[in-house]
Amino acid sequence: MSDNTNRLTKILSLLATSQGSGIGGTPVCEVATHVTGCTGASIMLLSDDHSKGSLCRTDDVAAFIEETQYALGEGPSIDAYLSGRSVLAQNLRSLSVPHWPVFTPLALDKGIEAIFSFPVRIGAVRLGALNVYRSETGALSTDQRSDALVLSDVAARTIVSLQAYAAPGTLSQEIENGANFHFVVHQAAGILSEQLGISVQDALVRIRARAFTDDRSIDDVATDIVNHVLLFDNDLSNEDKD
């Protein structure tokens, strides 16, 4: 019986018996937290080198990790997705090379001391990344890393299996349930592009910048735009007075 088999058998039985709801109701994030001995976990869906949103998360901090990378376009999950390799930051305060100049201080402010990201893929097909984070520093054991990789594999196959049931051209309802694809940000970008007479792409940049300068989540800023609570000034020299 191979080591991988033991591991998969363990992971599958944990998925079958654990509480929680992740992709298609499968408690992937809860099991990831458990097997890695971490504080929380999330799974991000990526394509075209960008985050498309979060499929599932265990808590608000895990949600913050995804949202921040979505807004900034940098962070461990994006690196894991792009490189196809595990990204292991066991001590965010002393990374050996400068990593994620904007993401890292924000993560530390949230009490995240260590973060680990694993590519979610099937062979060469890249789907996203699994993140686990810890509120104390410290490396994952070899065993914990191997469990996380097997779990990423199960997550990847679960995602494509669920999409196989979706009607052509539509998103699998089971994938969408519990996911956050930041649709409100795109609604806000449409509104802002009309208000300011700028392109939707430029509007997205303005929303991201606003979230960063106001230290708010991008979804919150977008929700205020949609509700006409937050109005932007078209004069860039006098940016964004409410």
Partner 1 sequence: MDFMPREASIIRTLVELADNLVEEYDVVEVLCNLSDRCVETLNVDSAGVMLASASGDLQVVASSSDAMRSLELFEIQANEGPCLDAFRSGEPILNHELLQNDLRWPRFTKRALDDGFHSVHALPMRLRGRTIGALNLFRISQGSLTANDVLAAQGLADVATIAIIQHRASLEAYELNDQLNQALNSRIIIEQAKGKIAESAKVDLDQAFVLLRNHARNHNLGLTDLCRYVANGTISSVSIDQFTPPTPRR
Binding footprint of partner 1 on the chain (CB under 8 A): 1-2, 4-5, 8-9, 12, 45, 47-48, 52, 122-123, 125-127, 150, 153, 156-157, 159-161, 163-166, 168-172, 175, 181, 183-184, 186-195, 199-200, 226
Minimum Å gap between C-beta 4 and partner 1 is 5
**Based on CB atoms, which residue is closest to partner 1, 176 or 240?**
176
- How distant is the alpha carbon of residue 67 from its chain centre? 6
Minimum Å gap between C-beta 207 and partner 1 is 11
Minimum Å gap between C-beta 86 and partner 1 is 17
Minimum Å gap between C-beta 228 and partner 1 is 9
Q: Are 1 and 96 in contact (CB under 8 A)?
A: no
- The SS3 call for residue 197 is coil
**Based on CB atoms, which residue is closest to partner 1, 97 or 125?**
125
**Based on CB atoms, which residue is closest to partner 1, 87 or 151?**
151
Residue 28 CB-half CA count within 13 A: 31
The torsion defined by the Cα of 100, 105, 109 and 112, in degrees rounded to 10, comes to 40
**Based on CB atoms, which residue is closest to partner 1, 115 or 179?**
179
Q: What is the sign of the dihedral through the CA atoms of 80, 86, 92 and 94?
A: negative
Q: Are 87 and 76 in contact (CB under 8 A)?
A: yes
- The SS3 call for residue 216 is coil
